[in-house]
Chain A
Amino acid sequence: MYETIGLWVAAFFTLAIYSFLYKENPIYRLAEHLVVGISAGYGIAITWEITLEPRLIQPLLAGDNWVLLIPALLGLLYITRFIPSIAWLSRYPIAFLMGTGMGIGFPLTMKASVLRQLEAAMAPVYASGMPWFEVLGNLVLIFGTLAALIYFFFSKPHKGLFFGTGSKIGIWVIMLGFGATFGFTVMGRISLLIGRVQFLLGDWLHLIE
């Protein structure tokens, strides 16, 4: 019974959102506002049920883990933003998060996103037994990376063989990247439509398996 009601509600709001394709209307706006409100409400409920209640309230009520009062107090300081006279207190939890976040994340992020990528770009172009298409791929990788980097080098005018031709090739490389991304984006957007149509035709109307 509840499942059926849920299906009908989901189908109604799916169609309500898609009604925007015809023109904006009150039903669409209702659905849009509900998405925002319910998402926020669900987030709060989950955070309470999974985090605050079992990991903070219960241990404190049980009388152990008093150390939890420190993060609890830091968290509460966020709310001081709503009281102008003591709003400055909210800077402490922000500073704590920024500091720990940078300290923990920076070295590992540098390693993951910069150093490893540099290492991968320094691969040998050719090794014995390497098939020709792999050699070609390595050349495209190296020259493509260099050309794209030249395009983003703005301290010299993009003229002459090195900077002029290099930056033109760089534009082509970047455009090829954009093209691939656009193709994937179209695929992604269509996939989302497919998901909803599968729900409407399958779960709701039972026209397909």
Chain B
Amino acid sequence: MNFWDKMLNIDRRWIFLAIGVVTIIPFLIGIGMPITTTTEVEDIFDFVNELGPENAIFVAFDFAPGTQAECMPMAVGVVRHAFHNDVPVFMTAYFPLSHGMMMAGFDYVTNPSIDGYYQVVEFAEWAHLREAGITTKAELVTEWENAGNVLPDNAANWVFEGRDYALLGYAPLFHLVILGMTSSIANQYPEDANGNALIEMPMLNEHKSLREVDLALTTAGSSACMSWITYAREKIGTPIAFGVTAVMATDYYPYIQSGQIIGQMGGLRGAAEYEVLMVENDVTESTGKAFRGMDVQSADHLLIILLIIMGNIAYFAGGAHKRHQMKGRG
């Protein structure tokens, strides 16, 4: 067995080890490679950036733990962006496992151990303000702080449950739930995931159905995202945006061209682009997990390209292609 044959028959565990090493090192030394943004992500960012407290969006956590590395940063990024602009966010989940993803994503945005987090005010805590008819964000914050509540130093702002967000969660046969929400959100979700009645929520009174919602962003690791186009976009014209895994990204580019979705974040790269846009527009002070992961992604891609080139050189220089041809003739 000559050198080239040895290369072609290398134990694949050496390749796994090389990928492992190349994945760990950039995390430890932090390269910080620049990331340019693409139109399809900029379009989503600009759309959300134009919205304000009078609007509302849906962020659908339509993925399971297996694809959370790609989908979670996208959903978290858009929720943060919406909270920054005081845009109310309805959060849903397509599968039972996505329900846990939704709770984990919300926890990440509102976790006090992370700088720039959003301090939650639970639904029951501000019941007296609702009863007094105070439901606009600016008035709520003023009254809440006048009552002696102090925003922690590392928090970005308050978020009031029922005014700034509603954790709707999972419901079975979710494509039919989307269809039902085109008429009434409260009919499909009488209560949110925390047991609060939706009809008592100010954000629901201002946005009773999907017709009164300005955007639905679905972060998906499966074709679940298509349900939003089929049952929301095509039925009532709700603007839709996709955040999908890289594997699925090429399947859904035609929907951008046809104008059925306003934009798409594809894989970790798409999420990193959104994080870059948020920093550039002063929505957040620093980039997040997706951006940090892109250094590693670039290093791994370089290694894979190198391995493909070396494999091809070994295949042709070692004469393996001739032997395979002869075998075929025999």
Contact = CB atoms under 8 A, between A and B. Distances in A.
B250 A196 contact: no
B170 A46 contact: yes
Nearest to B179: A104
Chain B interface mostly: helix
Given A50-B99, A198-B292, A187 B231 contact: no
A50 B170 contact: yes
Interface stretch (A80-88, A108-116, A163-171): A108-116
B27 A198 contact: yes
A195 B293 contact: yes
B143 interface: no
B81 interface: no
Nearest to B266: A184
A25 interface: no
A177 B172 CA distance: 35
Contact of B267 (A50, A51, A187): A187
B67 interface: yes
A75 B292 CA distance: 47
B296 A197 contact: yes
Interface stretch (B40-48, B157-165, B256-264, B275-283): B256-264
B228 to A, nearest CB: 10
A170 to B, nearest CB: 17
Interface string A165-198: 0000000000001001100111111111111111
Contacts of A201: 24, 27-28
Contacts of A189: 247
Interface in B14-63: 16, 19, 23-24, 27-28
B230 A195 contact: no
A192 B254 contact: no
A192 B69 contact: yes
Interface in B228-247: 229-231, 233-235, 245-247
Shortest Cβ-Cβ A-B pairs, 9 listed: A195-B69, A120-B258, A188-B246, A43-B96, A46-B96, A191-B268, A188-B247, A187-B246, A194-B293
5 contacts: A50-B171, A120-B257, A184-B266, A187-B301, A190-B300
Interface of B: 13, 16, 19, 23-24, 27-28, 64, 66-70, 95-97, 99-100, 169-172, 175-176, 179, 190-191, 193, 226, 229-231, 233-235, 245-247, 249-251, 254, 257-260, 266-269, 289, 292-293, 296-297, 300-301, 304
